[in-house]
Structure 1
């Protein structure tokens, strides 16, 4: 059996071990190549482990699953990803699915649910590997041209979205110029198909990345008109270049708008006012009218800290003030700074201060350190 390698990213040790046991000895078509307790650790392992599949939880300390997938997609746009989530994070997981994950597992999940998802991933992995084997040829089937065209559009869309996540116009422009160069010299019939694929990718990217109240698709400049049957190769190339120029203009306007509106400052102010609530990256991205993955990258680029780490450290700073200046109980402080579970709050506090909340409360004021100052 053709087994693939899987990386498991899950902060709950028991659940992580349970997944590993199910795949022990290469069962279910997968070999466990590595494990990590958060997205940050998983990112450092990708090049070494080179997984074919990633199973990742959504809610984790240090770096959450959605932010991790956003970074992962920049380097490995085609990597198979399965999201693990809880019911209360279901909308969060849906956002991740829109960014190209294969499937999701909803906790609490049965063993049969896990088996079905892993089987689906194994089938997809085997299908990809077979396509790379020498001598693998399949005759054209009815509708195969359309399927190939859609597949090419999806591939281009993933590349465009990954380039946009860098936030650098020259990277995106270089990618598009490369695609135009590849169109030159190919047969006219194939040229029209590839031009259609590129345009579909541009339109899908606009809808997912740029479409906000400020930039409705009607103003994008990328035409819905497809290449006409009577067009010559030169006409198709001119048309494609016009679509690319319109796309780049929209990208520059959208990027400039993000800077002019002080997006990150507004986001940080929102966190300051809502840290005691369930402060999710997707909520903030929606608040500032921005794609979640791009917002995550822009936030870290601007602040030097991931969104999850920033929120956690802010909450710990508020908790430290309450411990120092009030007689509130630990569970009351946990609730006041946005934690539903006191035990989880205590664990996070220990990670930040290397001591428990009770121990912190006892130390002299001059020895107390804020996590935001470290």
Structure 2
């Protein structure tokens, strides 16, 4: 829709003035107000206030001439009205001066009203065409800027998601975009998102992202050496060499809260010193953001998160959890739950708390399937109440507590049913140990052959025999050694080798510890 075009008529002859004004009424729907003034002084004030798009002025006016007025008008910056000069004087100098001052036409009185209307209509059409061209040009510029910005975002994001060495062509691109500070300054990477539930519709989500991004972008204009982009998981990413991160975070948080009433969570990477470290910074900031959001923290630095995390084990957490559940090892279940939940939070792109609940429920199903495979015991379906509690958690600790309580209840059910099968498993284990006691026999090796977890086997062995697996193997070997020492002529090192000891000194120490005598003393009855 074209904006209205206001016209100012300046003429000291009242009859002519009214005639022009009347003839222009209803001339074109886009013509807005038509102002009629009898002198240049009043017209000057109106021009500076209203900036009419078209000015029709006589040359000869009281005190200040029309040409003198035009000379002043042309000095106003960013104002280029379309001017028609009317005059009773058919003098070339007047016409020439009018054109020099920017007039589009010089009309002699008396003039034909129909012709004058056509002149004005052409000027109106000219204004519309200029507006159209200006709009198209602005549109092209905006699209070009948007395309350039999207290209920049994709380019920088690729460095964040894939380890990249700094090469000459990359440096030139960074130079073109005024981002060479990534190669010369230490920097941090911040990831942030809106806390609370995610909007249900894609449209609302896009609107929220757009508004938060706009506010953050405008806020960051005063922070030098900073770059804002959005990743594929709808999180805003800030790469910045600005020294005061707290100031920047607080400014963004304050303005988003003020204009959109949203609260933000921030995750901040460690200090990085090279372009190649963008990948690590990106991973760190996103892990810190997930941890901050899950624990209801306004912001979290990656180093703070790492300092608070327990040491990780290389053992498979599912195997450990299932074994602990089967064996009734509460501490083992607590450790497995801790490792799993913290792994989900750190390494999974969680958008809202329902996703964490769903991940935990999927994990429970995996554990129950594993327990069924290892013990043959079928476990009930997950209760709806657990699902509801997990979706309403208040902290990560409350999630861990719910899972531990659930697993403890499952463990009680499993251990109460497992006593009938435990003895058969141990009898199989004893047979295997009896057949292989002279080899490098281990708890893991026997457990693998029985297709059960070593922790479960260890628990069952102690429960069924009153001995640990290791004690049982040593006792069996020592019994064989005592018999061979008394009933055979084999040398002591040969006996040690036959029962699985390649180190004679080690065999001697264990034998004496178990019998109170050295192998030689036992053989000769000393």
Q: TM-score over 0.5 for the alignment?
A: no
Give the structure-2-normalised TM-score: 0.30
Higher RCO structure (Cα 8 Å, ≥6 apart):
1
Structure showing greater radius of gyration is 2
